[in-house]
Amino acid sequence: MNKIIAFLFLIFVPCFFIKLAAQDLHFSQFNYSPLNLGPSEAGNFIGDLRIAGLHRRQWASVTIPYQTFSISADAKLSALTEKSNGFGVGLIINQ
């Protein structure tokens, strides 16, 4: 039990010291970015692997137009292992 607590401590404590800056994502076709819509959707699809990529550029008349890039991939754990457990894993990168 102590090893589990120590492991979780080593994983989650550094997360509190990372400085993050963010702006809302503005995708008009959000249904093409399921992991942005809800991370719980990872692995919830028909198939074994899903990859999505999006790009949005808006306000082109300003000096520096607002651009958003997103790429995501997710898979069912049953596709990665031999057990069918209903869980999925996913990775999403937004800029």
Taking residues 67-72, what's their average pLDDT?
Answer: 86
* pLDDT tens-place string over residues 3-14: 777 777 777 777
Stated as kind and residue range, the H or E segment containing 10 is: helix 2-12
DSSP-assigned letter for residue 6: H
Contact at 8 Å (CB) between 84 and 39?
A: no
Q: How many CB atoms lie within 10 A of CB 28?
A: 8
Q: Alpha-carbon distance 71 to 50, whole Å?
A: 11
More confident residue, 41 or 19: 41
Q: Alpha-carbon distance 17 to 11, whole Å?
A: 12
Question: What predicted TM-score, i.e. pTM, was given to this entire model?
Answer: 0.62
pLDDT reported for residue 73: 92
* pLDDT tens-place string over residues 22-58: 656 666 666 777 887 888 888 888 888 889 888 888 7
Joined together, the tokens standing for residue 26 give 């503005």
Joined together, the tokens standing for residue 11 give 């994983």
